[in-house]
């Protein structure tokens, strides 16, 4: 097999074309920035802390990451580093100085702030991605680092009732009712306790149930509770008229975290004398066997007088 030798003119032309193509390729390569993969000239980013926790109970929670950017060897007298931050939850991020100018190998500090909206649930975690690009004459370098933002749980309760004032006839009963709501940003359980005023306890009033428990309320979830309050039979009704019933709700999850979060609601219970109550009082005090119809009439008249006197006493000042 023999090679075909080009003629002199054709050979010179081929050499010129080849030389031109090589020159164009070299110019294009030189004009395109080259990524610096060498460790000594590559951009380095590092966060001082990679896990921060935001408090979001009373306002938006702000956390700040601090970090450093550097190169081990400068390819030029100065290089420019551009920083960008984003977080997968969409929370607002801000870099105090997104453009850094490095003139030496000394580490340059930066800060990245993340704002977490008030009321964010405690089971949400945001992943922060901080990226940087170093540009110099003829090449560039990319770097990236990550941090995480958690949300601190907080605990809160709201108690509401449609009837804070209760009028309870003697020997009769009424209903205490309330609605509770988990206003915290975490799942919570609650314990409820009822405390009667000393005046009610001394007069034999009862409240059932006096304790309750509510497990696993989600943030914002409501529960209802009712109890039956039964009046005693004592006739020594105070002139002030009202007795307090205190209902207290306590966060159990807060207690596990060595915190005390409790809310109370006070009901005012007014004992009342109805005609039936007065008759029952008189019948209870009447000797056995005295079932004369006249005695019944006297009892009714006495009941009316007793009701009038008792109502007047309730409105008299102490």
Please compute, for residue 112, the number of CA atoms within 13 A of its CA located in the half-sphere on the CB side: 33
Determine the number of helices (DSSP H) and then strands (DSSP E) in the chain. Answer: 5, 19
**HEC per residue, 208-240:** ECCEEEEEEECCCCEEEEEEEEECCCCCCCCCC
- For strands 262-272 and 165-169, give the pairing: parallel
* CA 196 to mean position of chain CA atoms: 33
Residue with tokens 């007065």: 278
Q: What is the pLDDT along the chain (318 residues), one digit of tens a residue?
A: 444 455 556 666 556 555 555 544 444 444 455 555 444 578 999 999 999 999 999 889 999 999 999 998 887 778 899 999 999 999 999 999 899 999 888 999 999 999 999 999 999 999 999 999 998 877 789 999 999 999 999 999 999 999 999 888 777 888 999 999 999 999 999 999 998 877 777 777 888 998 999 999 999 999 999 999 988 765 545 445 678 899 999 999 999 989 999 999 999 888 776 655 555 555 555 555 555 555 555 555 655 655 665 555 555 544
Instruction: Decide if 272 contacts 165 (C-beta within 8 A).
Output: no
DSSP three-state, residue 138? coil
User: Distance between CA 19 and CA 13 in Å, rounded?
Assistant: 10
pLDDT reported for residue 27:
41
Q: Please count the residues of the chain.
A: 318
Q: What's phi and psi for 27, nearest 5 deg?
A: -65, -45
The order of strands in the sheet holding 262-272 is: 165-169, 262-272, 243-251, 188-196, 211-217
In angstroms, the Cα distances linking 123 to 147, 153, 154, 191 are 17, 8, 12, 23
User: Of the candidates 48, 229, 57, 190, which has an alpha carbon nearest to the alpha carbon of residue 130?
Assistant: 48
Other beta carbons less than 10 A from residue 157's beta carbon: 20
pTM over 0.75: no
Other beta carbons less than 10 A from residue 47's beta carbon: 18
User: Distance between CA 31 and CA 187 in Å, rounded?
Assistant: 59
DSSP three-state, residue 277? helix
DSSP state of 5: P
């Amino acid at each position: 097999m023999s090679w075909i030798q080009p003629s002199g003119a054709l050979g010179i032309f081929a050499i010129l074309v080849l030389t031109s193509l090589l020159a164009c390729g070299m110019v294009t390569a030189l004009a395109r920035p080259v990524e610096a993969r060498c460790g000594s000239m590559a951009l380095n980013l590092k966060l001082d802390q990679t896990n921060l926790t935001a408090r979001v109970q009373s306002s938006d929670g702000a956390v700040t990451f601090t970090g450093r950017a550097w190169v081990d060897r400068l390819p030029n007298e100065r290089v420019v580093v551009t920083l960008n931050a984003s977080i997968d939850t969409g929370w607002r991020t801000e870099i105090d100085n997104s453009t850094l100018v490095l003139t030496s190998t000394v580490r340059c500090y930066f800060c990245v702030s993340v704002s977490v909206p008030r009321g964010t649930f405690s089971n949400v975690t945001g992943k922060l991605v901080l990226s940087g690009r170093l540009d110099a004459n003829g090449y560039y370098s990319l770097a990236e680092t990550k941090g995480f933002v958690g949300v601190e749980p907080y605990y809160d309760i709201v108690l509401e009732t449609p009837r804070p004032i209760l009028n309870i006839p003697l020997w009769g009963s009424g209903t205490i009712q309330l609605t509770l709501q988990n206003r915290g940003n975490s799942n919570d359980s609650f314990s409820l306790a009822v405390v009667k005023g000393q005046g009610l306890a001394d007069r034999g009033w009862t409240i059932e149930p006096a304790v309750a428990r509510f497990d696993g309320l989600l943030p914002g979830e409501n529960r209802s509770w009712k109890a039956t309050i039964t009046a005693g039979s004592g006739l020594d009704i105070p002139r002030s008229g009202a007795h307090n019933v205190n209902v207290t709700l306590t966060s159990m999850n807060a207690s596990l975290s060595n915190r005390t979060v409790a809310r109370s609601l006070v009901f005012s219970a007014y004992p009342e004398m109805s005609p039936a109550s007065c008759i029952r009082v008189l019948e209870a005090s009447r000797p056995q066997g005295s079932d004369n119809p006249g005695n019944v009439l006297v009892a009714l008249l006495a009941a009316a007088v007793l009701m009038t006197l008792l109502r007047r006493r309730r409105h008299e000042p102490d």
